[in-house]
Chain A
Amino acid sequence: MSKISVYILLILIYLGMAKSFYPQEESIESINSNQDLAVLIHESPATAVLIDQFTTGFILPTYFQKYMVVSLYRPSYVLTVRTHRAWWEAQKDYLGMSIFTRINNFTPEVFLPTPPGAAFIDDPTLGEWYEESKEEHWRFHRPYRELLPELLGWDNFVPNRTFFNMAKLHQEQQKVFYGLNNEFGTKGTIGQRLLIHSILRPDNKEMTIKEYLKSWFAWPKPREPELPGPRQTGPTKADVL
């Protein structure tokens, strides 16, 4: 019995020490809901766009999410958080969407997944409506025009009045809006583009038995012959002269 106790104590000491000696593990914050996200993000106005989701571990997976925190008056940054499975699974369809938005400290924070930066549209301090092809389109003011659409992951998307009205309506009804042509979200065109860089990308498939067997029968690749290059022995007499 005492041997088992000592053994368990050793394992606990190991786990405790291992946690202390991996500071990168300590620095990752843990969230269980978007309410926790609001605590982590102090900027205002700001929005957190979900840009990636991944897991680590084989037997006991750990769930991670990456957010692009787009802030108007402070530098934007990528926030990596650890989360639990239920929340991770619930957010699976919202890649590329704003999961949390704060306009200012007086209006309620938005926790409903919305198209990225939808809350910034129709704010006269940030941009303006202009007419093109008999339809009103939104553009940000010059200081934000280049950077904001890129950070929000809009690509070539230009929001119009119909998009804005539909987004507003969905928000009032507490429904998720994926864009007029379902551009946003994991299945949308913009979401799919993000997925290419994600761990969840479709081409990140598992190895098949055929591929595995083939690797056993393949010849090792011949080493590249070293090309004669300049000697790394410092300056020569010719260089000095």
Chain B
Amino acid sequence: MTELLDKIIIRFFFIILICLVLVGYRYAHAFFYGNHRPQTLRRFFPTKNASDTIHLFARILGVVIIFQNITVSMAHGIWWASINFCCEGIIVFLMYLGSIYIIEGIALYDFEYTNEITERKNFAYATVSGLQAIAVAIVLTSIFKAAQHSLPLLFILWPLSLVLLGITAKLFKYLSVLSFSKMLIQGKMAIALSYGGHICGWSFLIAAAFHNNGSALQWYAGHIILRLLLSIIIFPLIRQGLILVFRIQNDYNPGTAADTPERELGQGIYEGLLGLTSCILIAIITENIEFDPFYDH
């Protein structure tokens, strides 16, 4: 009974610790976005601005996704476990916010938080920013796992992952018929869903690429690039396969008078979900086919 009580007290202790670590996140956020008073430092009213709510909670969700993979080992006592947890938390926050800062600089460079969220209440922008934050979290989770508690490896894999995510964000305009900047300024949800599906789908593939068995760093990095190259090769085949199987007839013509907001939204949903579905199917092809032990001789 004493042991059970001890365990539950330790769990309660970690609930408090998580909350304290999240307070750290608030200030880390203020450090990165210091040019205006960020939503993390003021009293927050969820019903006042829905765009702000989605913007904030998507980021918190991102942090939680990364936190999900942090394990607390009590082997060396509760204090070492707490110190380790806090250190990992700080590294997570800094890398997560740094990544969002860089990726937003690449994908949303001509948009500003104050203009789009506070003044214009641009829901599409908030969705794009939120889904991008979740995509960053998915990739960072994979990097933390791959680094296996090694800071040097983490600082090598982190820039690599940012480059890959940045390229993915930039490639969107070649894969979509929708105009990203124009529609995002207009606050159209079609572009938010299309871009969200694209960035989240590819973040799954980038994250999966970091799970490989390469031991030496040069082989490991090479295998990541190889996996992604393989995904790029498979992507058009899977996408075309889905279109053929479900007999999808895309009748959207951008720039014509026939384009209604409803048709645009349909196109956005279609592009986003087709991209996401294709990426998940690609992950099956690149990750879930086991050749062992056949190729191990």
Contact = CB atoms under 8 A, between A and B. Distances in A.
Interface string B229-250: 1101100100000000000000
Contact of B229 (A10, A58, A64, A233): A10
A196 interface: no
A7 B233 contact: yes
Contacts of A10: 229, 232-233
Interface stretch (A11-19, A83-91, A99-107, A119-127): A11-19
A233 B223 contact: no
B75 A233 contact: yes
A199 interface: yes
B297 A64 contact: yes
Contacts of A199: 297
B254 interface: no
Contacts of B75: 232-233
B294 interface: yes
B70 interface: no
B12 interface: no
B297 A20 contact: no
Contacts of A13: 229
Given A14-B229, A21-B222, A233 B76 contact: yes
Interface of B: 75-76, 219, 222-223, 225-226, 229-230, 232-233, 236, 294-295, 297
Contacts of B225: 17
A154 B24 CA distance: 73
Given A11-B233, A233-B76, A56 B226 contact: no
A130 interface: no
A150 to B, nearest CB: 23
Given A14-B226, A21-B226, A56 B294 contact: yes
Nearest to A54: B297
Nearest to A199: B297
Contacts of A21: 219, 222-223, 226
B233 A14 contact: yes
Contacts of B76: 233
22 contacts: A7-B233, A7-B236, A10-B229, A10-B233, A11-B233, A14-B229, A14-B230, A14-B233, A17-B222, A17-B225, A17-B226, A18-B226, A21-B219, A21-B222, A21-B226, A54-B297, A56-B297, A57-B294, A64-B297, A199-B297, A232-B75, A233-B76
Contacts of A64: 297
Interface in A67-89: 80
B249 to A, nearest CB: 21
Query: Which 9 A-B pairs give the minimum distances between C-beta atoms?
Result: A21-B222, A14-B229, A233-B75, A10-B233, A56-B295, A17-B226, A56-B294, A18-B226, A11-B233
Nearest to B236: A7
